[in-house]
Amino acid sequence: MSTAITKLLNESRTDEESALDEVLPLVYAEMRRLAGAYLSRERVGHTLQPTALVHEVYLKLAGQGPVAWQNRAHFFGAASTLMREILIDHARSKKRKKRGSGMRTYIEIDAAIGVNDDNQLDVLAVDEALNELERLDERQAKIVEMKFFAGMTIEEIAEVLDISPATIKRDWTSAKLLLTRMLDPSS
């Protein structure tokens, strides 16, 4: 199946819409699982559902023109970036609608970032910390984005970035430490 997806993604360079239409059913379940995993860390009652998030990602992918997809992992790397953008935009929109109410949008963040399971972090603070990490080390920020927002494995990230899994593990460990300090100055 991975080969079929890569073949269709390669065809999308010339006829993106029809190739993406063929790819979507093949990757839909995995994209929905990734979206569901991320949204499960959001506050209870979040208005964006996994299906809607996947559809938004698809619309953005279809609207960006021909892309030279390298493989399935490259596709999911791009999808993780779009998921992050959509979720951050959604949080900002909700905050704007509540003007002046002091409302904050929170996500539950797992121990992968170095915070206890009980803690919740402001989704906009996570985005700001990730932007700061990107200024310090772009690759580490991309690794966090793919691991946290898209739920990709170390091996999948290594494939997308074309570097060894050992390097990904080292960067992931370093990024977790930096983000923990950025998000919890008392640590």
Which domain range does residue 51 map to?
2-183
Q: Cα–Cα distance between 47 and 53 in angstroms, integer? A: 11
Residue 119, classed as helix, strand or coil, is coil
Which DSSP helix (H) or strand (E) runs through 89? Answer: helix 72-97
Per-residue pLDDT of the chain (187 residues; tens, 9 = 90+): 566 777 777 666 555 566 677 777 878 888 888 787 767 666 666 677 888 888 888 888 878 777 777 777 778 878 888 888 888 888 777 766 655 444 444 444 443 444 434 444 567 777 888 899 999 999 999 898 888 777 778 998 898 888 999 999 999 999 989 988 888 766 5
Q: Cα–Cα distance between 165 and 152 in angstroms, integer? A: 12
The length of the chain, given as a count of residues: 187
Number of domain units in the chain: 1
Which DSSP helix (H) or strand (E) runs through 164? Answer: none
111 residue type, one letter: A
